[in-house]
Amino acid sequence: MPLLENLALVFLAGLVTALATGIGALPFLLFDSISDRKNVVLWGLASGIMLSASVFGLADEGLAEGTPLELAAGMLVGVLLVVIARDVLLDVDIDPREYEEADFKKLVLTLGVLTVHSFPEGVAIGVSFADLGLEDGVTILGFTIPLLAVFMTVAISIHNVPEGTAISIPLRSMGVPNWKLVWWAVFSSLPQPIGAVLAFAFVRVAREALAFGFGFAAGAMIYLVLTEFIPEALSIGGALPNGGRPELVGGLVLGVLLMVPLVFI
């Protein structure tokens, strides 16, 4: 059953990115804290990789599959859905410090908020696997995987590491056990494998909507980087010299350089 096998592989890729969030909590098992400087560089690195993957990977693939209008429409819808979902759900401020005391209702609401943040990243993974087994790529576990999918999975995994750290910091200050820090970090990214499978299934069935799907993923990712990742990095680096901007720019540039090969795929 090739379809089920493909869905399982895409789910696994999304699960890898979710587990990467837990890595961000692991340093607390060995150290009391992670320096703000390193955190800012990691956020910059992840932002540079994801912006490059969105522009040179997702958007470029979208143009190859359809018209600029279809790509632009997808990007617009991707941004609008994230904005609308955020406005609806984030009216209720969910603080990570409250996770441990959350009752069932609060956990459901928390998952909804996290979905707004994590689901588009899962969609980006799923769409990047659209040509799984259909063209030359990298052979992994017997599957021919598009290079774009490899880049996107790695990019989001890298981004999730400092995000896991950011989630763990307030929980650690409350005295939450270390093993629970890892669990809550992974929990925050669980919508990613779900979004990856849904997006992959959609673009494989509705190939004519592939350009729109690439645009949706690219628009959502670019919007998240510009409105969440970079501001988060600047917030963390606020106490550093020059507000942490040199570290952020350095990470961004390094991230872009790492993705240069994507331009030539």
**13-22 pLDDT per residue, tens:** 889 988 988 8
Residue with the larger pLDDT of the pair 32 and 25: 25
Position with higher pLDDT, 53 vs 23: 23
For residue 37, what pLDDT is reported? 84
Domain that residue 125 falls in: 2-263
Average pLDDT rounded to a whole number, residues 71-94: 75
Mean of the per-residue pLDDT values of the chain: 77
pLDDT tens sequence across 172-205: 655 677 777 788 888 878 888 988 888 888 877 7
Say if residue 111's pLDDT is above 80: no
Helix H, strand E, coil C: the string for the chain is CHHHHHHHHHHHHHHHHHHHHHHCCHHHHCCCCCCHHHHHHHHHHHHHHHHHHHHHHHHHHHHHHCCHHHHHHHHHHHHHHHHHHHHHHCCCCCCHHHHHHCCHHHHHHHHHHHHHHHHHHHHHHHHHCCCCCCCCCEEECCEEECHHHHHHHHHHHHHHHHHHHHHHHHHHHCCCCHHHHHHHHHHCCCHHHHHHHHHHHHHHHCHHHHHHHHHHHHHHHHHHHHHHHHHHHHHHHHHCHHHHHHHHHHHHHHHHHHCHHHHCC
Residue range 116-170, pLDDT digits in tens: 667 777 888 888 887 776 666 677 777 778 888 888 888 788 877 777 776 676 5
User: What average pLDDT score do residues 97-113 get?
Assistant: 51
1 pLDDT band, cuts 50/70/90, is very low
Provide the domain count of the chain.
Answer: 1
Q: Is the pTM of this model over 0.75?
A: no
